[in-house]
Amino acid sequence: MSFNETLKSLIKSKKSHLCIGLDVDKSKLPQSVLSTDEPILTFSQQIIKYTEDITVVYKLNLAFYEALGEKGYRILKDTLSMIPKEILTIADAKRGDIGNSSSKYAEAVFDDLGFDAVTVNPYMGFDSVEPFCANPEKGVFVLVLTSNKGSSDFQQIESANGIPFFLEVARKITEWNGNDNIGMVLGATHPEEIESAVKAAPKLSVLIPGVGNQGGEGSRVKNIFKDNDQSPFIVNSSRGIIYASSGEDYAVKAREVAKELRDELN
């Protein structure tokens, strides 16, 4: 089964469009966790335990682990081992390089770490993305329109034919979707543009970050997809969920916020 079909099936069976970002920053952990031998692992384990039944995906931003060096790589692997096999995992790595380098990045993310999907930057063109797409069972989420403030610097510039650059990207990557495993990254802070991109590329899966702390609204995202059964979509929240409380009840509060967002999206 292709990645997009797997994602669609999982969304349907769990009745959830929720993706939780495990972007764990030690400086933001509750004091009760900091006193343990492995604070980051302890924190992640509890977040997973309290949310695994309501989320379809966990997204791990590799920067938070790479910054810790060799220890971070071990923590990353240990965290992945705690996630139930039926839940999909995304390596938020935003990779993109010349073909042979991208091949090695793909090996690292898929073969060594065992992620189900990865985020990639399409700026260098198809040959930089192609190695990630080789296995239909592995997902590739391409940056199309991101949620950060600087996204307008390039992504919304109009091309010579008057079409915003992000729409050109959305249309182009549909041509790369021969294995039915490509998706778009579309920031929740741009609801009108999300609608345009989904219309331009209706059969791609969609990863939507930016809900919560970055200002995006789950209800607006839901309305975009209410009459669309072709595009499986997931909405990511990281800080808004995992740091919902700085007290000993952090996992309980994370579950409460996660359930609220899941229900808002259904």
Catalytic sites, residue numbers: 94
Element (H, E) at 41: helix 39-51
Other residues' Cβ atoms within 10 Å of the Cβ of residue 57? 25
SS (H, E, C) 154-195: CCCCECCCCCEHHHHHHHHHHCCCCCCCEEEEECCCCHHHHH
In degrees and rounded to multiples of 5, residue 58 shows phi and psi of -115, 130
Between the CA of residue 139 and those of 25, 134, 172, 204, what are the distances in Å?
Answer: 26, 10, 17, 11
